[in-house]
Chain A
Amino acid sequence: MMDHAALRAILPQRSPMLLLDRVVEVVPGERLTAVKAVTGAEPCYRHLPPDAAADDLAYPTALLVESLGQAAAILWFLGRPDERSGRLPLLAGLRDVALTGAAYPGDLVRHEVRLDQILDGVAFAVGEIWVGERRICTVGSLLAVVRPPSSLAVREPEPKERDDDRHHQPVRATA
């Protein structure tokens, strides 16, 4: 088991974007189970209208998927601590994310993630998100990369439209 302090030591995200509370089970290099408690105190609930219905309080998809991604990052970095040294983990791709339910304030969200493949600086993971006995999301494939911050700050000097597919480069070459 890993508590929140141990997760903070591995992940560079910070509150309120550190969306993982505890790892409850891990088989290094293979699979991991982690939990995150959803609470009404999170910033996403700040601007709800006063008459918001119960249904309106579904936890945002973006934050659910980020939370699962952080669970995958923990699993990745536990096996390869050198990967994250001086670098930031970034989400590079998702495939076949099916949303079959929702989480609400008070729910304990559970991520079941598995590593599919690891390359140098690149990880592929699959996962499921559960609330109790309800599976609320399936992630067919998640692709993450690590990048030094200095490589991300470079900007294109010329404002120029680049619309067509010929310029669409693979993730590894651009991020």
Chain B
Amino acid sequence: MTAASRAVDTLAVRAEGDLLHVSATKVVDPTDAYLTGHFPGFAIYPGVFFIETLEQAVAGALPGRPRLTVLRSARFTAPVLDGDRLRMELTIDHSGQPVLARARCYRGDGTRCADLVAEFDGGCP
């Protein structure tokens, strides 16, 4: 799968029955190709890149090439800037299809910055 950008630096996965608890981190890099244009001289992690982080975290936690099919909801509530460390806490329910992923995201200072709920097809534990 083509990635918009490297959107996960570290990934930790813990299994609990049909659930996977995933913690993914990403430090916002202002030299990232896309960030140089979003925005020139003022890098903000684009809201849509949280979708990329989510897809890469799910792909890293769940084999079988899971594919994002529905983004039920996403809220972006605080900006994540140049050098900030983003942490995504993700619960993946793979008891059936579609696989359901719920994510909460925090900045380095602890501020909650995004929530996402999404469905994936094709992943298997």
Q: Which residues of A contact B (CB under 8 A)?
A: 12-18, 43-48, 56-63, 65-66, 69, 88, 90-99, 147, 149, 152-153, 155-156, 158-163, 167-171, 174-175
Contacts and interface: CB of A to CB of B under 8 A. Distances in A.
A16 B34 contact: yes
Contacts, number: 147
Interface of B: 1-5, 33-40, 42, 44, 46-49, 51-52, 55, 68-79, 81, 104, 106-112, 115
Contacts of A174: 77-78
Contacts of B104: 163
Contacts of B68: 61, 99
A175 B70 contact: no
Which residue among A59, A62, A66, A93 has the maximum number of chain B CB atoms within 10 Å of its CB? A62
Contacts of B34: 16-17, 43, 63
Given A16-B34, A60-B1, A156-B110, 19 more contacts: A14-B37, A14-B38, A17-B35, A44-B3, A44-B4, A47-B3, A58-B1, A60-B2, A66-B46, A88-B42, A90-B44, A90-B79, A91-B46, A96-B70, A159-B108, A162-B110, A168-B112, A174-B77, A175-B79
B2 A59 contact: yes
A171 B115 CA distance: 12
> 4 closest Cβ contacts across the A-B interface?
A17-B37, A91-B47, A43-B33, A97-B71
A19 to B, nearest CB: 9
Given A45-B2, A56-B1, A60-B3, A95 B110 contact: no
Contacts of B48: 61-63, 65-66, 69, 91
A60 B42 contact: no
A14 B70 CA distance: 28
7 contacts: A62-B48, A97-B74, A98-B69, A159-B110, A167-B112, A168-B77, A168-B115
Contacts of B42: 88, 149
A175 B51 contact: no
Contacts of A159: 108-110
A91 B44 contact: no
